[in-house]
Amino acid sequence: MKYLPLVFAGLFRRRTRTILTLASVGIAFLLFGLLQAVGTAFESGADSADARRLVTIARYSMIEPLPIAYARRIEQVSGVVAVAYADWFGAKYQNESNAFPVFAVDPARYLAMYQEFAVTAAHRDAFIATRTGALAGRRLVDRYGWRIGQKLPISSELHPKMDGSMAWEFDLVGIIDAEDPAVRGNTDLVLINVKYFDEARRFGKGRTGWYIERVADRSQARAVAADIDRLFANSPDETKTQPEKEFALGFAKQIGDLGALVTRILVAVFFTILILTGNTMGQSLRDRIPELAILKTVGFSDGKVTALVLAEAVALLLLGGALGMAAATSVIPLVNGSMGGRFPPLFVDGGTWLRAAAIVLALALAVGVPPAVRARRLRIVDALAGHR
Amino acid sequence: MSYSGKVVQVINVHKEYRRGSERIDVLQDINLEIPPGDFLALMGPSGSGKTTLLNLIGGLDTPTSGTLMVDGKRVDRLGSGELSRWRAANVGFVFQFYNLLPTLSAQKNVELPLLLTPLSARERQRRAMIALTLVGLADRARHKPKELSGGQEQRVAIARAIVSDPTLLVCDEPTGDLDRATAADILTLLQMLNREHGKTVVMVTHDPKAAEYAQRRLLLDKGTLAEAREIHVG
């Protein structure tokens, strides 16, 4: 700790240069934090996927519905311990830009399947008991100022009612929440009761969008998936069953390989930072050769001088990285607010902070080691001779 | 051979540099004894080897051959780390261009050698203030080097040199960058440290006026002391 003033004195010897470099590093890590948050949000479905859950869709297209009657047959497959199903409602609320997922589900089956959703017993019971009932995610409730007991007027882009109207109305009976931020990203939805929905819609009665199954043994998941698909082989509604994580990743990839795109952008950003901070450190060392020689003269060992120079690189990147990540964390709520719920909520998770720390360390070593080695090799008499 | 009674003993010291295939003998067969409390001025023309000899005495460089004893210690045999520790404990350095760290205050500059000790921050600060008081700059403790005059900067450098209470002060052209009046002040200060605080001072200078403040003057020429004139000052 007693050497810290010395580290910062070296770092801020050229105040403007250091502040500009810090700003560059900060902006790079702000970008890193935001892009990682986007990647994390889009992959959160996969991350929160349960290895014991399977998803069954129609074999040739997931927009083709499957018979609801499949539920009982799937339950009979050996290794399957629970079955739920859901259908896509295609909702818009108030105007075109307020779009969020609304799933028509069997309340008891669906909530039993997704036990990571935090729903109070009273809300669960009310949802099961109310044919026009709906559960809404906490963030949606907060965003639109909904209150339990109120009517939710939601239009469907896909399903007309018997009278041809696309305007539906549900009773908000409860809230879905989650502790885990990755799971909370999947609660930006509204669940409605399939009994009411199926009776009230004009088309597609008796059919649902997809099935979710829980298996007894995760190691048997693929075998059970094959058994399910075999059950409906050569039928008019053949199925494709896969582990939930695979399904979620495939779904996310439909908007492009986000991970690869993010990685390429970040490699370019950090390469630029590497060159920039490397140049700053190099110039800083050249400016201070006589000062480093004086430190050695008064008794600082080669090792101590090396450590001081390396510590400057670490401090520069740590400070810039922390500022950038803090900025990303502060900006994300604003970004989420401006999205109007069209994208999963962004968040900076612990993994992103750890990756940022690892990048800081790697960059610090890359830019700090060459000047540190040069400082170590500095001969006092040569360095002072250049200053006489 | 007994080394008692001598702060510095230079015995048959030879120093050479190589520039490509060329060998340059900077010091040849130097023999010199400096007793405790001495104030020695090393004089000579440019390139005579006086700074090289000073660097050897201060442990900033090592001889090619010969023996260098400082305060009973074979300095020429110390490794880099040991030499660093030895310098920190035994030698104070004063240079022509002060070599203060520009981003640190005068007090923090003086504290630098004490960072290598286990002293507390409060004790480091106290000792730095004592050293600054001794050189007459206690009221400039918080000033940065660029806020000080040349003479004041050199006083801070002297405070830094004495703060860890070394046996030996080595000064390389300490007045070379100062006007005559300021130079006289600095030399008087060195003389005071020598006379009143018992510091052994070895000073390189090409200025005969500066050398007059020393007790002894030695002339180096072309790397030898063999024909040096040793002048004892009353």
| DSSP state letters, A223-244 | HHHHHHHHHTTTSSS-EEEEEH
Mean pLDDT in residue range B2-6: 54
Domain ranges (residues) in chain B: 36-51+80-232
Q: Which residues of B are less than 8 Å from A3 in CB distance?
A: 115
Q: Which residues of B are less than 8 Å from A304 in CB distance?
A: 116
Model pTM? 0.67
* pLDDT of amino acid A23: 92
Interface residue A384 vs chain B (CB under 8 A): yes
* pLDDT of amino acid B227: 40
Cα–Cα dist B152/A307, whole Å: 31
Cα–Cα dist A142/A136, whole Å: 10
Q: Is the ipTM of this complex over 0.90?
A: no
Residue-wise burial string across A105-127, b where 16 or more C-beta atoms lie within 10 A, e elsewhere: bbbebbbebbeebbbeeebbebb
Give the distance from CA B109 to its chain's centroid.
Answer: 17
* pLDDT of amino acid B96: 86
Find the distance separating the first CA and the last CA of chain A, reported in whole Å.
33
Cα–Cα dist B124/A107, whole Å: 72
Q: B92 - beta bridge partners?
A: B169
Domain ranges (residues) in chain A: 4-45+256-385, 61-237
Cα–Cα dist A249/A46, whole Å: 6
* pLDDT of amino acid A116: 86
Structural contact between residues A174 and A36, judged by C-beta atoms closer than 8 angstroms:
no
Pairing of strands A91-92, A239-243: unpaired
Q: Which residues of B are less than 8 Å from A380 in CB distance?
A: 55, 60-61
B234 min Cα distance to partner chain A (Å): 33
Cα–Cα dist A388/A137, whole Å: 73
Digit-coded pLDDT (tens) for B187-199: 999 999 999 998 9
Q: Are the Cβ atoms of B97 and A388 closer than 8 angstroms?
A: yes
Interface residue A291 vs chain B (CB under 8 A): yes
- Return the beta strands (E) in B20-158 as ranges: 22-34, 39-43, 65-70, 73-74, 91-94
Structural contact between residues A193 and A133, judged by C-beta atoms closer than 8 angstroms:
yes
Compute the Cα dihedral for B3, B6, B12, B17 and give only its sign. positive
Task: Please tell me the CATH code under which domain B36-51+80-232 is placed.
Answer: 3.40.50.300
Digit-by-digit pLDDT tens for chain A (388 residues) are 788 888 888 888 888 888 998 999 999 999 999 888 887 776 665 555 677 899 999 998 878 899 999 999 999 999 999 999 999 998 888 877 777 889 999 999 999 999 888 999 999 999 999 999 999 998 889 888 999 999 999 999 889 999 999 999 999 999 999 887 667 767 788 999 999 999 999 998 999 999 999 999 888 888 999 999 999 999 999 999 998 878 877 766 665 666 777 788 888 888 888 888 888 888 888 888 888 999 999 999 999 999 999 999 999 999 999 999 999 999 888 887 666 555 667 788 888 899 999 999 999 999 999 999 999 988 888 888 764 4
Structural contact between residues B42 and B10, judged by C-beta atoms closer than 8 angstroms:
no
Q: Are the Cβ atoms of B102 and A299 closer than 8 angstroms?
A: no
Q: Could you tell me which chain B residue has the CA closest to the CA of A2?
A: B115
Q: What's phi and psi for B142, nearest 5 deg? A: -90, 0
Confidence of residue B75 (pLDDT cuts 50, 70, 90): confident
Dihedral over alpha carbons B108, B111, B112, B113 (to 10 degrees): 170
Cα–Cα dist A365/A44, whole Å: 32
Cα–Cα dist A131/A199, whole Å: 10
Give the pair of three-digit tokens for residue B59: 């442990």
Q: What's phi and psi for A45, nearest 5 deg? A: -60, -40
* pLDDT of amino acid A260: 77
To test the contact with chain B by mutation, choose from A8, A14, A292, A297 the residue with the greatest count of B C-beta atoms within 10 A, namely A297
Cα–Cα dist B106/A105, whole Å: 75
pLDDT higher at B112 or A333: B112
Confidence of residue B1 (pLDDT cuts 50, 70, 90): very low
B113 min Cα distance to partner chain A (Å): 6
